[in-house]
Structure 1
Amino acid sequence: MEIGASLVQSAYRAAQPAVAPEPGSGAGADILGRVLNDFASTLAEGEAVSKEAMLGRSDPHALVMALTQTELAVETAATLRDRVVEAYQEILRMPV
């Protein structure tokens, strides 16, 4: 059985761990953009279900689920904001 160089090379590349993206490559911005889009869509979905519930066209269970998801999204955003502010304040306290 002969092993070709290309087969060995492809197996070697597959065995290598994934390389982290370089700073400034935009990967962080892509993730942040997806998170913000998910947050906005969760809020919009909760608002739409709430409107439908006010008109009597929505299931109460769907309303509770949408409100719970919206509440969780807002709490997560507030926690994230608090941690970013805390990290910024910690950086400001560092001696230069």
Structure 2
Amino acid sequence: MDVRNTLAAQAYGQARPALRPEATAQPSAGEAFTQAVEGFAETLQTGEAQARAAMTTGADPHSLVTALAQTELAVETAVTIRDRVVEAYQEILRMPV
């Protein structure tokens, strides 16, 4: 048996699972929304805890900046989603009945 054939067979065997991914259960819309809200709340709590620690104990300023940046991104994302929902609602209201 040729070495190239052996290596090719091994590479094919390793890539085979990628060709046939296992079916994973997709969360429902409600579960996905719940997870998003919980993640948002957790991000806000982390930012607040880092800010509190920086003010009281002089914690690492780098971790404070990182937590605040993550919090800012989470709030901007929530505002964008809210704006899109309001826009969709207004579009529905404009539809003729």
TM-score normalized by the length of structure 1: 0.72
Q: Is structure 2 residue 80 aligned with structure 1 residue 79?
A: yes
Q: Which residue of 2 aligns with 1:68?
A: 69
Superposed structure 1 runs of 4+ greater than 4 Å apart: none
Percent of residue pairs bearing the same amino acid type: 58
- Which ranges of structure 1 fall in alignment gaps of 5 or more residues? 1-14
Q: How many positions carry a matched residue from both structures?
A: 77
Distance 1:56 1:45 in 2: 16
Q: Is structure 2 residue 2 aligned with structure 1 residue 31?
A: no
* 1:58, distance to aligned residue in structure 2 (A): 1.3
Q: CA RMSD in A?
A: 2.3
- Which ranges of structure 2 fall in alignment gaps of 5 or more residues? 1-19
Q: Which residue of 2 aligns with 1:88?
A: 89
Distance 1:85 1:74 in 2: 16
Q: Which residue of 2 aligns with 1:53?
A: 54
SS of 1:40's equivalent?
A: helix
Distance 2:58 2:30 in 1: 39
Q: Which residue of 2 aligns with 1:40?
A: 41
Distance 2:58 2:49 in 1: 11
Instruction: Encode CA deviations 1:19-65: one digit per residue, 9 max, x unaligned.
Output: xx7xxxx8100000000000000000000000000013410000000
Code of the residue aligned with 2:86 in structure 1: it is: V
Distance 1:31 1:58 in 2: 34
Instruction: Encode CA deviations 1:54-89: one digit per residue, 9 max, x unaligned.
Output: 013410000000000000000000000000000000
